[in-house]
């Protein structure tokens, strides 16, 4: 008489309830993966190999298999929260042990600027150099820059606008000076933009457009316009009390872009002082692109105006792109890559060994990690400001719990019946 079958059933069901309980406990744990207890039947070995009439002696736990299915992705308000949509794991390291792997993207920035999880493990990826160029290679702990971004001197200006062919001539050859910036009757239109010197000081540039002529010449050219430019209110050409045009544009009869402009067309900005008395450095050789300027019979309108300089800026926020690029945003409106997150995948994910804190480590069964950047090959993409929820199906787990409870009761009943049979045998006279 053997109690082995019932006892093994009790042990197996108890282990199954432990797995179910752990799943239920982690139903709200971000990045957690459900597990499943898998069992196999158990037979005693026979010396003669005959097994046709051999009864089993119970069940045994074969493995507790993690289920690495995709969990639902929920949006959060924290840009440091990251979710992987697809295959792959974040790589994190404590700096001593081999890398660990996790699907929990609850990251923060520590006092040294490293991106870390709640256990203090640092997120691994590729660093970026001072210019923002990502340096692929061996993954290192990602550290955000603490210094601001240096200013950049303006080297190019691009302008796109239309001067109204219906405008009257405002140039008066007898007037001295030929233009008065405080008198709108001496010019037709005006627009402005800001450029930056070597130390990042803003210099407001104002462009005044004055129609010179509205008649055809012998070579077919018609409609000339003077363009006056001031920096901090000081004209770039002529004297403060006698401004001169910085350039003149001659449009063809059809008003299309002029072909008479020099190539390259440059502006030189002298040293000037702003309203507060601060001195802006001189900027020479700024390339001015007016190749798309037209003179059609429609109102004056600026459709594009831009320059490539900017002032100094401080780090204000970071964000991760879908390809893993961690972008630093600065107070001057500029952005620069601060690194790129590397993620890893395994051929046999169920071979990973859980170590707690929503992390796994590789084993011989899992194989070595296949690393890459998000979106590369069969790796998933990142979603910033979101987290992957646990893939535990709470309804299914509760049903499994009921089933395991009934199975436990049935195995206990088997032992009870065996006990009654044994008692009957003992009581035989």
189-207 tens-digit pLDDT: 999 999 999 999 999 999 9
Say how far residue 15 (Cα) sits from the centre of its chain.
42
Q: Give yes or no: residues 218 and 328 share one domain.
A: no
Q: Tell me the average pLDDT across 333-338.
A: 90
Q: Give yes or no: residues 27 and 102 share one domain.
A: no
- Look up residue 324 and give its two tokens: 């893993």
* Domain end marker among 275, 307, 339: 307
**Residue 427: per-residue pLDDT:** 84
**Residue 123: per-residue pLDDT:** 95
In our burial notation (b when 16+ CB lie closer than 10 A, e otherwise), range 147-162 reads eebebbbbebbebbbb
Residue 225 confidence (pLDDT) above 50:
yes
- The kind and range of the H/E element at 420 are helix 394-426
Taking only the tens place, the pLDDT of each residue in 148-179 is: 888 999 999 999 999 999 999 999 888 889 99
Q: Give yes or no: residues 41 and 126 share one domain.
A: no
Q: For a pLDDT cut of 70, what percent of the chain falls above it? A: 95
Q: Give yes or no: residues 24 and 81 share one domain.
A: no
Q: Give yes or no: residues 234 and 334 share one domain.
A: no
Helix, strand or coil for residue 241? coil
The sign of the CA dihedral 197, 200, 201, 203 is: positive
* Domain end marker among 307, 334, 369: 307
Range of the domain at 351: 73-149+315-388
pLDDT confidence of 40, banded at 50, 70, 90? confident
pTM (predicted TM-score): 0.76
Residue 58 confidence (pLDDT) above 60:
yes
Q: What are phi and psi of 255, to 5 degrees?
A: 75, 5
Residue 227 confidence (pLDDT) above 90:
yes
pLDDT confidence of 97, banded at 50, 70, 90? confident
Q: Give yes or no: residues 296 and 190 share one domain.
A: yes
Cα separation values, 46 from 43, 49, 165, Å? 9, 5, 106
Q: What size, in residues, is the chain?
A: 429
Q: Give yes or no: residues 111 and 16 share one domain.
A: no
The CATH number assigned to the domain holding 275 equals: 2.60.98.20
**Residue 1: per-residue pLDDT:** 47
SS (H, E, C) 138-204: CCEECECCCCCECCECCCEEEEEEECCCCCCCCCCCCCCCCCCCCCHHHCCEEEEEEEECCCCCEEE
Q: Tell me the average pLDDT across 281-304.
A: 94
**What's the whole-number average pLDDT of the chain?**
89
**Residue 274: per-residue pLDDT:** 87
Residue 95 confidence (pLDDT) above 90:
no
* Domain end marker among 267, 289, 307: 307
Residue 217 confidence (pLDDT) above 70:
no
Q: Give yes or no: residues 277 and 413 share one domain.
A: no
Q: Give yes or no: residues 298 and 331 share one domain.
A: no
Q: Tell me the average pLDDT across 220-231.
A: 84
Question: How many structural domains is the chain composed of?
Answer: 3
Q: Give yes or no: residues 94 and 22 share one domain.
A: no
Q: Tell me the average pLDDT across 362-391.
A: 93
Q: What are phi and psi of 405, to 5 degrees?
A: -65, -45
The sign of the CA dihedral 119, 120, 125, 131 is: positive
**Residue 245: per-residue pLDDT:** 94
Residue 186 confidence (pLDDT) above 90:
yes
Q: Give yes or no: residues 181 and 254 share one domain.
A: yes
| Range with the poorest average pLDDT among 1-5, 214-218, 247-251, 279-283 | 214-218
Q: Give yes or no: residues 210 and 334 share one domain.
A: no
């Amino acid at each position: 008489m053997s109690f082995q079958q019932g006892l093994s059933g009790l042990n197996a069901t108890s282990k199954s309830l432990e797995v179910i309980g752990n799943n239920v406990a982690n139903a709200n744990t971000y990045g957690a993966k459900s597990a499943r207890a898998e069992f196999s039947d158990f037979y005693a070995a026979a010396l003669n190999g005959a097994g046709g009439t051999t009864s089993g002696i119970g069940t045994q736990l074969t493995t507790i298999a993690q289920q690495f299915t995709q969990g639902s992705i929920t949006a959060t308000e924290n840009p440091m929260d990251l979710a992987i949509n697809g295959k792959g794991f974040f790589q994190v390291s404590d700096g001593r042990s081999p890398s660990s792997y996790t699907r929990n993207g609850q990251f923060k920035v520590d006092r040294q600027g490293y991106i870390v999880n709640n256990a203090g493990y640092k997120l691994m990826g590729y660093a970026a150099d001072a210019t923002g160029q990502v340096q692929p290679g061996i993954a290192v702990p990602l550290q955000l820059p603490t210094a601001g971004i240096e200013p950049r001197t303006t080297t190019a200006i691009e302008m796109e606008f239309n001067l109204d062919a219906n405008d009257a001539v405002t140039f008066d050859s007898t007037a001295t000076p030929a233009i008065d910036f405080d008198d709108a009757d001496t010019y037709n239109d005006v627009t402005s933009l800001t450029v930056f010197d070597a130390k990042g000081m803003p210099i407001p540039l104002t462009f005044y457009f004055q129609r010179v002529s509205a008649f055809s010449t012998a070579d077919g050219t018609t409609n000339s316009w003077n363009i006056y430019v001031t920096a901090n209110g000081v004209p770039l050409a002529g004297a403060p009390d006698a401004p001169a045009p910085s350039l003149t544009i001659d449009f063809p009869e059809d008003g299309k872009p002029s072909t008479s402009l020099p190539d390259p067309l440059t502006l030189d900005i002298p040293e000037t002082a702003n309203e507060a008395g601060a001195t802006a450095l001189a900027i020479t050789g700024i390339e001015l692109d007016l190749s798309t300027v037209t003179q059609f019979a429609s109102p004056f309108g600026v459709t594009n105006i831009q320059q490539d300089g900017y002032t100094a800026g401080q780090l204000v926020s970071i964000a991760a792109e879908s390809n893993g690029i961690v972008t630093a945003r600065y107070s001057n409106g500029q952005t620069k890559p601060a690194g790129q997150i590397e993620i890893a995948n395994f051929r046999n994910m169920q071979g990973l060994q859980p170590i707690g804190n929503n992390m796994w480590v590789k084993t011989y069964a899992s194989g070595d990690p296949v690393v890459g950047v998000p979106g590369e090959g069969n790796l998933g993409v990142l979603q910033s400001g979101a987290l992957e929820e646990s893939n535990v199906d709470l309804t299914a787990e509760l049903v499994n719990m009921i089933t395991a409870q009934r199975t436990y009761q049935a195995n206990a009943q088997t032992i009870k019946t065996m006990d009654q049979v044994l008692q009957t045998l003992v009581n035989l006279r």
